Structure 1
Amino acid sequence: MRRSLPLTAIAIALMVAAAGLALAARPEKIDRFALVSRHNVTLTEPNFDAPLSVGNGEFAFTADVTGLQTFEGEYSRMVPLSTMTQWGFHASPNPNGFTLEKFPLTTIDTSGRPVGYLYQEDGKTPPEWGAAAGYLYSNPSRLNLGRIGFVLKAADGHEARLDELKDIRQTLNMWTGELSSHFVFDGEAVDVSTSCHPDRELLAVRVQSPLIAKGRLAVRLAFPYGVAAFNGNGSVWDRPDAHQTVLTRTGENRADFARTLDNDRYAAAMTWSKGSRLVEDGPHRFLLQADASTKTIEFGAAFSQTAVPRNLPTPAASRKAAGTMWKGFWSTGGAIDLSGSRDPRWKELERRIVLSQYLTRIQCAGSLPPQETGLTVNSWFGKFHLEMHWWHAAHFPLWDRSRLLENSLPYYQRTLPSAQAMAKSQGYEGARWPKCVGPSGEPAPTYLESFLIWQQPHPISFAELCYRNAPNRKTLEKYQELVFETAKFMASFAARDEASGQYRLGPPFADAAEVYFPDHAHQWNGTMEVAYWHEGLETAQLWRERLGLKREPKWDDVIAHLPPLATRDGLYVAAETATDTFTTPGRNISHPTMVAPLGMFDGRMVDRETMRRTLH
């Protein structure tokens, strides 16, 4: 195996070892271009489960096999097509004035004292709470900023159907970030290049086809209204009177669009090559057409929270900038080449490693923690679940790309006062991080929100990963408040059980696998959570020592008196109160959280043989 790992990418190395891959030693330098390029994705038919996307971490555009979003309806039943940004949210009108401050709290006995929680669950809380909970959970939701697709017409005038496209060949070149799409419609070839500018919410497209000069290929830009939906692509198209689009023409080759959806506003702009023109095609719809002298349409589509900059890069310049960014991304940081393996599984494992790096770079490297589907589609009303942030972004520092994780860490610093207020309201010290949140950092009343805790140590873990790549005082001072406020809550949350002398995490408590949460009032000491509490508090103490501060006695007391990891019949189980993990059907089909203490964490609390038996 050839490797170039500034931080040794321990997690991937362990995965390779676990797979038992036989590797031949190859000391030569990795051919990074070959490594990435052999996994470029090529489609020869529509893939409704996995359409391809381009993006930069702040902006993503998901396309069908035409390279644009021509057949949105056909894709909507699986993975819909969207144009999304980190800032793109929409809040529906709130005529009832629902607010978190007005929402009733549910009082639950917590270590012998009454604590109010933001909790709503059908059948368990008063039904009259449902409307308020539904609004607060679903607003704001992710917004599809606009649909960009072809209008393709056959010689007889009918508009193309997806099944009429022939000779489809679409390739995502991950080395350059360019999506190249080829297809034939009505006997004529169409070739499309789609790229995303690395630093702007800007799409660059080049289209070449004889259909253009024949007036049978045009590009449609359409703007939707938002929708407060649990999933989908964040748009509805049948409410044209609910939103406004104001067109302003700037010269012959640019149009700007001022968008208003209730109290939300954003801007868009389109630029195009000589020989094309933009015409209105209906409410919120615009058509880019070319004259009979050209077989090429080239355009850029930009989006912004405020006015789109006056001077935009040309599509060619955007493609070039994208190529430069992606070449730099793949040429730096860690890399693993498994091509020397004698195990036939090497290529599939390597493919997953490379594609995961591409996907998380465009979906999970932005200024907010990603929602579970990144910027591909709307999911869970567009909210991001802070417990999942670790999976999406903790790997970046391990590849020596800490900056991509650090892009989202200011979110925690910005929302720290809210997290501190939540902890204080429940009688704790420090900062309690919520689970399901939007850009404001405010939680939502749900059945699980208040009781999941494995997101709590994440800021400590993130800060430590960044410190390992930049072990200096600047890093320590940058994140010390996050580390210490998080640790204060963790130590405060742990309650001492006088009978055993040990600290207990919960109740109320929802396990990370979300299997036992219906009984949250009677669950405690999750195996994963206890191990993470131990590691998080130890790391926080290490930060104090690095800064020349004394260790916190309370933190040490909690560390020393956490319970051992829960076992039954020689196996690690989900929690001290959930010992039927492997004996009751349905209890071991979710996240295998009991192996996390020797996977995600440092293993200090783990008996290796017990973990080996549990794993197998």
Structure 2
Amino acid sequence: MPSSPAIDRRALVRRHHVEQTTLDPRSPVTVGNGELGFTVDLTGLQSMPGEYPVHRRGHEPDRDVPGTLLGTQSQWAWHSIAGEREYSLEETTRRYEVDGRLVPYVEESPRGTPGYDANRWFRANPHRLDLGRVGFVAVSDDDGDDGDGDSDGGRLAALRPGDLADTRQVLDLWSGTVDSAFSHRGVPVRVLTAVHPTRDRIGVTVASARAAGLAIAVDFPYGSSDWHNAADWDSPGAHTTTVTAAGGGWVVERTLDDSTYRVHVVATGAELEHVAPHRVVLRPTADDVDVVVELTTDGQGDMVALTSRAGHADTATTAGDAREVHRASAAHWQRFWESGAALELAGTDDPRARELERRVVLSQYVTAVNSAGSLPPQETGLVCNSWRGKFHLEMHWWHAAHFPMWGRPELLEPSLGWYRHALPLARDTARAQGYAGARWPKQLGSVLRETPSSIGVHLVWQQPHVVYLSELVHRVTGDDAFLREQAEVVFASAEFMADFAQAGPDGFTLGPPLVPAQESYAGERARLSNPPFELAYWRWALRTANAWRERLGLEPEERWAAVAEGMTAPHVRDGVYTGVDVEPFTIRTDHPSMLGALGIVPDVGLIDADVMRATYLDVLRDWDWSSTWGWDYPMMAMTATRIGEPGWAVDALMDVAGKNVVLPNGHNHQTDSLPLYLPGNGGLLAAVALMARTHLDGGAGFPSGWDVRLEGFPATV
């Protein structure tokens, strides 16, 4: 295609800065580095957490205590609450007959059954921690109690939205800095907030703090076992907080059962006081205050000791000041935006184009902040907890496949390396079930242990993900060292896949037992088989694993090839692909995942494009869109692109369905209990990358008449 003028990336990014002048309870902004996230309200800190609630899921029997979107979370901070006794996963195990043998699965135990207590404990532990709340408090003019219940000796009081005037906040995407301005007691205040790119260090500068009657409080909670909540503020006796002066600042030692971490505080223009068991306060001694808060761990308990990265060793002091954090952040984010791929749609008349461009830019930011760390990310990233902070491996593709697709493989490689760490668990699971190779779990946290579930343990579509993600990285980097380093994971994954497939009269089959990506069938897991997406994905991954062997000078595995080429054809009924090949064939709720067989997966010769086109139209006809999820729309866009319908792709990405909403802060909102959903953001970027690459290769990647400018998109799968 003819070349076009270079994209002005600075202008592209800056026209999508997030500016807010009023409090939007669904849309706070986050600064972070992939390992640490710090989410702030209109004050630039976490001063009004109750104004940004996360509500409990109705079917989860947890405490009815709202969480908050204003989290301070890291990849390494995890905790378990001691159980009444030692529990065993065997208590939650159910066995299914497969090929004449009994195969164990750690299933969720219903309430009232002998395994219920064990199930509850394993599902709740370990959970991700909120490391502390850093927020402004008002300093009273006198020593009287203001009666609001949030004061310390009547001298400090919580801020309320009505206490602020002239609010304006800008998340500067180009520098990764939040610039917040407001007035308190008639005095203008300005706050600059950022996170260091390579250390878990928060830098904050405050202008006019003392004149405005503001101090900064840091409060520390206990860990919570709630589905949605990372903090328990009602158990002060269950944890300890000690403070010592050190290195020109202060060190706060935190102990929660077996988990420990440190908070290093350095401040200019303020003094620190330990005013309550789990509260420290920085009282301004000048109008201009400079604060650095650094969080570290030595990996005790359920914490993850990530000493390979600067900032994760348990260092003794905090160096630098907030302005150094801001400079480092600005340099990092400028490099980020100037690297990798870029898409500009500003010249397009279609009004959807600017909104799509906004979503693309903001999705790059929120996934870099939340999904580029050393563990696979949880679905709500480092903002707040969902599923108690655990990560889901079937979602890893949706979180992070786009990084290499946009020319940034280095942002996927840390979490992809986790699979090498977890390989023993996956091998043990396969071995216990009588299979070769490695079977990857669905849901877990810092502890290498599967989480009991009636659905998750029967999912198989996460199994090829590590092959796909590894292939993406190698295609972009061409790094033979990575090829050798990751080969064991790829090969062990393929070994299980080849062994899991069962020979039948019409070819190799998948299941039962099995739950497809479309989880609506979970109640019938004992008899389900052959979902189209998984069949095509199996063929693609086994072929790719053998291609890795050939690249390393090894002979292809005959069994892998036989299974790949012998996969049974997906079931067709009334001219369309069905969800499974047994009754009820297709349930029209949840993910229309049969579309992924020629969308997420490229053409592998197993899917008829005309039948897939008919299936796509059948889905559009009467699917229950209220039951879909944020990644369904990008999946549909990928399918539309593969079958040459770019208009359908844009229609899917810009659908107005409830779970395809993208908030002002760039997050994909789902429900009050799932207020952000990073697989939706990552899926959007993966779909657009496929559209861009198709466009660059001379295909129909975008609708006719769109003015599309592209840079830096590498070849993809």
Query: Partner residue of 1:212?
Result: 210
TM-superposed CA distance for 1:407, in Å, is 0.8
Instruction: From 119, 135, 154, give the equivalent of 1:133.
Output: 119
Q: Does 1:269 align with 2:264?
A: yes
Instruction: From 221, 234, 240, give the equivalent of 1:244.
Output: 240
Instruction: From 203, 228, 238, give the equivalent of 1:231.
Output: 228
Query: Is 165-174 or 381-390 further displaced after alignment?
Result: 165-174
Query: Partner residue of 1:600?
Result: 600
Question: What's the secondary structure of 2:51's corresponding residue?
Answer: helix
Unpaired runs of at least 5, structure 1: 4-24, 582-586
Q: Write the letter of the residue equivalent to 1:549.
A: L
Q: 1:246 to 1:514 in 2, by over 3 A?
A: same
Q: Does 1:197 align with 2:196?
A: yes
Q: Does 1:82 align with 2:82?
A: no
TM-superposed CA distance for 1:428, in Å, is 0.4
Question: What's the secondary structure of 1:345's corresponding residue?
Answer: helix
Query: 2:91 & 2:445 partners in 1: Cα distance?
Result: 17
TM-superposed CA distance for 1:113, in Å, is 2.3
Query: Partner residue of 1:146?
Result: 132
Query: 2:241 & 2:552 partners in 1: Cα distance?
Result: 54
Q: Does 1:609 align with 2:610?
A: yes
Query: Partner residue of 1:300?
Result: 292
Following superposition of structure 1 onto structure 2, how do residues 11-22 of structure 1 map, counting pairs within 5 Å?
none
Query: 2:182 & 2:382 partners in 1: Cα distance?
Result: 26
Unpaired runs of at least 5, structure 2: 56-67, 147-156, 299-313, 618-717
TM-superposed CA distance for 1:154, in Å, is 6.8
TM-superposed CA distance for 1:121, in Å, is 3.7
Query: Partner residue of 2:305?
Result: none
Query: 2:335 & 2:580 partners in 1: Cα distance?
Result: 44
TM-superposed CA distance for 1:578, in Å, is 5.3
TM-superposed CA distance for 1:565, in Å, is 2.1
Q: 1:472 to 1:26 in 2, by over 3 A?
A: closer
State the aligned residue count: 576
Instruction: From 107, 114, 119, give the equivalent of 2:107.
Output: 119
Question: What's the secondary structure of 1:362's corresponding residue?
Answer: helix
TM-superposed CA distance for 1:171, in Å, is 0.9
Question: What's the secondary structure of 2:325's corresponding residue?
Answer: helix
TM-superposed CA distance for 1:94, in Å, is 2.3
Query: 1:325 & 1:472 partners in 2: Cα distance?
Result: 24
Query: 2:217 & 2:3 partners in 1: Cα distance?
Result: 51
TM-superposed CA distance for 1:385, in Å, is 0.5
Query: 2:50 & 2:171 partners in 1: Cα distance?
Result: 22
TM-superposed CA distance for 1:430, in Å, is 0.2
Query: 1:592 & 1:173 partners in 2: Cα distance?
Result: 37
Query: Is 141-150 or 185-194 further displaced after alignment?
Result: 185-194
Query: 1:488 & 1:119 partners in 2: Cα distance?
Result: 24
Question: What's the secondary structure of 1:128's corresponding residue?
Answer: coil
**Per-residue Cα deviation, 1:6-46 (whole angstroms, up to 9, x for no partner):** xxxxxxxxxxxxxxxxxxx8710000001111111111111
Following superposition of structure 1 onto structure 2, how do residues 373-412 of structure 1 map, counting pairs within 5 Å?
373-412=380-419
TM-superposed CA distance for 1:104, in Å, is 4.7
Query: Partner residue of 1:16?
Result: none
Q: Write the letter of the residue equivalent to 1:205.
A: V
Q: Write the letter of the residue equivalent to 1:88.
A: A
Query: Partner residue of 1:369?
Result: 376
Work out whether residues 276 and 289 of structure 1, in 8 Å CA contact, stay in contact via their aligned partners in 2.
yes
Query: 1:82 & 1:540 partners in 2: Cα distance?
Result: 40
Query: Partner residue of 2:353?
Result: 346
Instruction: From 30, 41, 61, give the equivalent of 2:38.
Output: 61
Q: Does 1:312 align with 2:319?
A: yes
Query: 1:513 & 1:286 partners in 2: Cα distance?
Result: 48
Query: Partner residue of 1:544?
Result: 549
Work out whether residues 138 and 230 of structure 1, in 8 Å CA contact, stay in contact via their aligned partners in 2.
yes
Work out whether residues 252 and 264 of structure 2, in 8 Å CA contact, stay in contact via their aligned partners in 1.
yes
Following superposition of structure 1 onto structure 2, how do residues 100-115 of structure 1 map, counting pairs within 5 Å?
100=89, 102-115=90-103
Question: What's the secondary structure of 1:245's corresponding residue?
Answer: strand
TM-superposed CA distance for 1:99, in Å, is 3.1
Following superposition of structure 1 onto structure 2, how do residues 471-486 of structure 1 map, counting pairs within 5 Å?
471-486=478-493
Work out whether residues 506 and 568 of structure 2, in 8 Å CA contact, stay in contact via their aligned partners in 1.
no
Q: 1:168 to 1:83 in 2, by over 3 A?
A: same
**Per-residue Cα deviation, 1:96-119 (whole angstroms, up to 9, x for no partner):** 11133x435211112332212111
Q: Write the letter of the residue equivalent to 1:602.
A: P
Work out whether residues 178 and 194 of structure 2, in 8 Å CA contact, stay in contact via their aligned partners in 1.
yes
**Per-residue Cα deviation, 1:517-561 (whole angstroms, up to 9, x for no partner):** 111001011111111101100101111111222221111211122
Question: What's the secondary structure of 1:591's corresponding residue?
Answer: coil
TM-superposed CA distance for 1:472, in Å, is 4.2
Work out whether residues 436 and 443 of structure 1, in 8 Å CA contact, stay in contact via their aligned partners in 2.
yes
**Per-residue Cα deviation, 1:480-533 (whole angstroms, up to 9, x for no partner):** 111110000000000112xx2411100000010211011100101111111110
Question: What's the secondary structure of 1:388's corresponding residue?
Answer: helix
Query: 1:451 & 1:379 partners in 2: Cα distance?
Result: 21
Work out whether residues 568 and 579 of structure 1, in 8 Å CA contact, stay in contact via their aligned partners in 2.
no
Q: 1:304 to 1:110 in 2, by over 3 A?
A: same
Q: Does 1:278 align with 2:285?
A: no
Question: What's the secondary structure of 2:519's corresponding residue?
Answer: coil
Question: What's the secondary structure of 1:464's corresponding residue?
Answer: helix
Work out whether residues 92 and 452 of structure 2, in 8 Å CA contact, stay in contact via their aligned partners in 1.
no
Query: Partner residue of 2:518?
Result: 513
Q: Does 1:561 align with 2:555?
A: no
Query: 2:589 & 2:24 partners in 1: Cα distance?
Result: 28
Work out whether residues 54 and 177 of structure 1, in 8 Å CA contact, stay in contact via their aligned partners in 2.
yes
Q: Write the letter of the residue equivalent to 1:222.
A: D
Query: Partner residue of 2:19?
Result: 42
Work out whether residues 133 and 445 of structure 1, in 8 Å CA contact, stay in contact via their aligned partners in 2.
yes
TM-superposed CA distance for 1:563, in Å, is 1.2
Work out whether residues 267 and 308 of structure 1, in 8 Å CA contact, stay in contact via their aligned partners in 2.
no
Query: 1:359 & 1:473 partners in 2: Cα distance?
Result: 30
Query: Partner residue of 1:451?
Result: 458
Query: 1:225 & 1:386 partners in 2: Cα distance?
Result: 27
Query: Partner residue of 1:258?
Result: 253
What RMSD, in angstroms, separates the aligned Cα atoms of the two structures? Answer: 1.8
Q: Write the letter of the residue equivalent to 2:83.
A: N
Work out whether residues 178 and 194 of structure 1, in 8 Å CA contact, stay in contact via their aligned partners in 2.
yes
Q: Write the letter of the residue equivalent to 2:598.
A: L
> Identity over aligned residues, as a percent?
40
Q: Write the letter of the residue equivalent to 2:218.
A: L
TM-superposed CA distance for 1:309, in Å, is 4.0
Q: Write the letter of the residue equivalent to 2:116.
A: G
Query: 2:261 & 2:217 partners in 1: Cα distance?
Result: 19
Q: 1:105 to 1:69 in 2, by over 3 A?
A: same
Query: 1:411 & 1:471 partners in 2: Cα distance?
Result: 20
TM-superposed CA distance for 1:589, in Å, is 3.0
Query: 2:482 & 2:355 partners in 1: Cα distance?
Result: 37
Q: Does 1:575 align with 2:574?
A: no
Query: Is 147-156 or 590-599 further displaced after alignment?
Result: 147-156
Query: 1:588 & 1:328 partners in 2: Cα distance?
Result: 45
Q: 1:308 to 1:223 in 2, by over 3 A?
A: farther
**Per-residue Cα deviation, 1:153-176 (whole angstroms, up to 9, x for no partner):** 576885432233222211111100
Query: 1:566 & 1:173 partners in 2: Cα distance?
Result: 50
Query: 1:578 & 1:481 partners in 2: Cα distance?
Result: 38
Question: What's the secondary structure of 2:526's corresponding residue?
Answer: helix
Query: Partner residue of 2:686?
Result: none
Instruction: From 466, 474, 479, give the equivalent of 1:467.
Output: 474
Question: What's the secondary structure of 1:225's corresponding residue?
Answer: coil
Question: What's the secondary structure of 2:456's corresponding residue?
Answer: coil
Query: 2:439 & 2:431 partners in 1: Cα distance?
Result: 9
TM-superposed CA distance for 1:333, in Å, is 0.6
